[in-house]
Amino acid sequence: MQSQSQVKSVDTGSELVVRMALTAWNTENDRINKLIDKLSDGDWHSQIASGKNSGIYLLGHLIAVNDNLLPLFGLGAKLYPNLEKVFLSSPDSSGLEKPSLAELKTCWTEVNAALNGYFVEMTADEWFGKHNAVSADDFVKEPHRNKLNVLMNRTVHQSYHRGQLVLLEKK
């Protein structure tokens, strides 16, 4: 009886931490959604600071990073593979043609809807399983290289760029 309750209590810990990480992830996404509601088209085309990245580049960058979670977690192919070259492997100044702001806003909504559709179904064991950028052998030695860790790091990364995007807001 005691042993069963031990297992249950620790099990809850593992599910609890997944909920904590998902809440943080959803909170960050919601905050970007609120910025999307608030900023004008002109704001998005401005630079976050003189000579730095534009808002539209950072939005595309965040979409491409989130889109990459689909293959990384074995959930499917990227929805927008064309965004990688413009927003991940090239700087804002590349001169490569960017999708319109309206298109990017749709991509942002759709990629997060796709991800969250999978995320709500994933078990704690799946979250603690390896992602596709680590081999099975390496994962035995480095069990922190799991999907949950990637989600936590992506949340931190998104917040980094949100700290920049809020600068687009006019006082």
**Contact assessment for residue 64 and residue 84, using Cβ atoms and an 8 Å cutoff:** yes
- The runs of H, that is alpha helices, within 52-146 are 55-67, 69-72, 83-87, 101-119, 124-127, 136-141
What mask of x and - would describe binding to a copy of itself in positions 58 to 87, judged by CB under 8 A? ------------------------------
Q: Which of 52, 106, 133, 138 binds a copy of itself (CB under 8 A)?
A: 52
Q: How far is the CB of 155 from a copy of itself (least distance, A)?
A: 6
CB of 162 to a copy of itself, least distance (A): 6
Binding site for a copy of itself (CB under 8 A): 3, 6-7, 10-14, 16-17, 19-21, 23-24, 28, 48-52, 124, 128, 143-144, 148-149, 152-153, 155-157, 159-164, 167, 171
